[in-house]
Copies of this chain bind each other. A is one copy, B any other.
Amino acid sequence: MPTPQHNRCFRLRRRPDGRVTGANLELVEEPIPELADGQALVRTLYLSLDPSNRIWMSEMRSYMPPVPLDAVMRGLGVGQVVASRRKDFPVGSLVLGWTGFQDYAVMDDATDEGPYTRLPEPLPAPLTMFLGALGHTGITAYLGMIDIGRPEPGDTVVVSAAAGAVGSIAGQLAKARGARTVGLAGGAAKCAHVVGKLGFDVCVDYKAADWRQQLAAAVPDGVDVNFENVGGVIMDEVLLHLNIGARVALCGMISQYESADATSSWAGQLSIGQLIMRRASMTGFLVLDHADRFPEAIEHLAGLLGDGRLQSDENVVDGLENAIDCLNGLFDGSNTGKQLLRVGEADAG
């Protein structure tokens, strides 16, 4: 394969307010620069689309700096080295790293968001799983549920966005530990999926008019663990059911991210005082802090996948050019499972 000459990339032109449009992320075609010593060229194969993408586009105080205006949009991907001037990443290597929203990324340790990781050969699992159940997504669910939620057999565990990438795994991890799992998802079809395929005991449809009553009926013994991905009114309602000593693993607050630039319009949390009343704790966490725990998490997750006790949901959309719709799908509730964008095809070498 000749070295590619042109790269399509999304550049952040304007910070979004609400849904993302082409005015925010512009798809442009640019020449690929010649590689310098120590660089390699990575063909993006799959891109992970996550609620956090939306945070990085805003000026919200986050765990990473905002993507600078006019920079290529930040994104985590798996890719393949197609040209290389470094020995540790020969052509053909499969890699995990911050490829960004683009066809080709120049890997450069001096400027990248973080180091690339070379994936094992032969691959022990499908490539997409390194962004999903065996990647940051699965490890996030593992750390939040095992370290912070700490469900005991018989505990009631409530997971919001239970049909989503992290929530679906978090609930299954709790179930595998003997907890009673209650999901929250939007719409009857998603709820049926959460119970039928993912094995939650109950799923509450938060789009139903009587969802508060549904939730109350689903947790007659209260809530011991809340694995929270949504925030807003959903979290507020769950907090009203906390048991004494309950643990809230605060993984995400997707309901807030679209107004991250306009704090005055946020729907503030009304029930935080329940943490006092129920002597409960709420703990935020971030997968990126815990690289030392990745092997343990991956072993655990791979074991459950092998046993058939963990179902891995992936939703793959084709084509870099569809990134914006695909990202917005995380916020309008149309997505189920891990949202991936297929950007390129691996070269079988």
Contact = CB atoms under 8 A, between A and B. Distances in A.
Contact of A284 (B250, B277, B285, B289): B277
Interface string A250-290: 11110010000001001111101111111111111110010
Contact of A273 (B231, B283, B286): B231
A282 B281 contact: yes
Nearest to A240: B61
Given A61-B240, A240-B61, A276 B284 contact: yes
A275 B270 contact: no
A275 B268 contact: no
A5 interface: no
Nearest to A282: B282
Contact of A268 (B62, B253, B267): B267
Interface residue SS majority, chain A: loop
Contacts of A268: 266-270
A289 B282 contact: no
A285 B274 contact: no
A49 B285 CA distance: 38
Nearest to A286: B279
Contact of A276 (B253, B274, B277): B253
20 contacts: A60-B277, A61-B274, A63-B277, A231-B272, A250-B272, A251-B276, A253-B273, A253-B276, A266-B270, A268-B269, A268-B270, A269-B269, A272-B272, A274-B284, A275-B284, A278-B284, A279-B285, A279-B286, A281-B284, A282-B283
